[in-house]
Amino acid sequence: MKQHLLIGLITLLVAVGCRSHPTSPYTAVPANEFVKQWEADLTLNHRDEIAALHVIGDTLIAYTKDNHGYWLSASGGQLLAINKIAPRDLELHPPVMLTDSVAIPTTSSIETYDKAGKHLASFATVGAVQSDAAASGNSVFIGVSHPGSGRVTRFDIAPNFDVNWELWVPVGIASGPAVFGDSVFAADINGEVWAVSLARDALWNLPDNVFKTNATITADLAADDFGVYVPSQDKKLYCLERGTGKIKWSYYAGMPLVDQPVVIGGVVYQLVPGTGLAAISKTDGKIARDAMWVQPIAKQVLAADQQYLYVRVDRGAIVALDKATGAPKFRSSRQDFESFATNTTSSLIYAATKDGHVLAIRPVLRPGTVGEIVLFETPPSYMFD
């Protein structure tokens, strides 16, 4: 009897000991996997959910449908601040970086915060905000409504809030302007593109000082040291010389363009409705530019490294595309992500579930890295259909 009791006690202790040492989620990671760098649970109100993610500097800002903003460290996921940015019925536009602060335009105001998410001030705009914003120094440039016409308005945020100037346009503005150096570029819904200096002097010696497309422009513009990128609903993406407004090249997409192009390195990525993501060389090719490739499954550019472009596809999954050919190479099997940020400065991917879990996801291209695998490669080719 004592022998049976001793054996039973030993068995129980072994079982308890096994339960007290759970298997670690961290393991050696093979190549072509995605690992979790960090995860944050925002513990949202059950009636709220994440609506958008934005990377700005070293901060990741999550907007919710209730117009709360959650400030997170982009590198570590630490929660820095929570703010009620605007009433639920107002629109939140993407944040823009000022010299020492962050500005978030709403339908009727510009809200400013320090880089840690502390609210600094609220400024009422002269009319309803109609476009996303661009910034230079402590100035915010944005499309604002006006009876019978439109305005690109320059709001100087610091040291004192002031309407520095307004650029009158005949019709409204839905396209977010672009700023590069001391130049401001804006487009109206008539399909005209304007270029002015920070002092509002016209820059282009063209008829009426504007470049004219053949249809409305509603997508945000982009600009860099090579040119100004204009997606028009005349089915073309234009690259214009910043100083003259002359066409450097154009890409015929075959469908009206309604999304802002994403420029990473020497490639311009343009979403084409009903067609997919087109990759266009910024510097090489004919004036009537052909795409390097078009990938139908891609819905949003997420990040990139030297070898791969990471994109969102249907059902909230992530796919790595070969940058040279656009061919899918590996993808996630997890598909519960609702929101993604576009990160043009590193290969880190930011994603969020509807219920408030935010993740930073890192691609692993070489075996031997130790990490927690949260997304798994799905090799069969049918998974990319």
- pLDDT more than 70, % of the chain: 88
DSSP secondary structure of 76-94: T--EEEEEE-S-TTSPBPP
For 248-268, what is each residue's pLDDT tens digit? 999 999 999 999 999 999 999
Where does the pLDDT of residue 332 fall: very low under 50, low under 70, confident under 90, or very high at 90 and above? confident
Find the mean pLDDT for residues 312-322.
92
Q: Which of 53-57, 291-295, 331-335 has the lowest mean pLDDT?
A: 331-335
Q: Tokens for 38?
A: 């960090």
Residue 127 has pLDDT above 50, yes or no: yes
Residue 28 has pLDDT above 70, yes or no: no
Q: Which residue has the higher pLDDT, 254 or 21?
A: 254
Q: Which residue has the tokens 């009903």?
A: 274
| Distance, first Cα to last Cα, the chain | 66
Cβ-based neighbours of 166, under 8 Å, separated by 6 or more: 126, 144, 151, 152, 153, 154
Residue 137 has pLDDT above 80, yes or no: yes
Q: Is the peptide bond before 159 cis (omega within 30 degrees of 0)?
A: yes
Where does the pLDDT of residue 134 fall: very low under 50, low under 70, confident under 90, or very high at 90 and above? very high
Find the mean pLDDT for residues 219-229.
98
Domains of the chain plus CATH, in order, are 25-43+299-385 (2.40.10.480)
Which amino acid is it at 255?
M
Residue 93 has pLDDT above 60, yes or no: yes
Taking phi first (over 0 means left), then psi (-120 to 50 degrees means alpha), and beta for anything else, what does residue 209 get? left
Residue 109 has pLDDT above 60, yes or no: yes
For 172-207, what is each residue's pLDDT tens digit? 899 999 999 999 999 999 999 999 999 999 999 999
Q: Which residue has the higher pLDDT, 379 or 335?
A: 335
Residue 16 has pLDDT above 60, yes or no: no
- pLDDT more than 90, % of the chain: 77
Cβ-based neighbours of 259, under 8 Å, separated by 6 or more: 219, 231, 270, 271
Output the pLDDT for position 379: 40
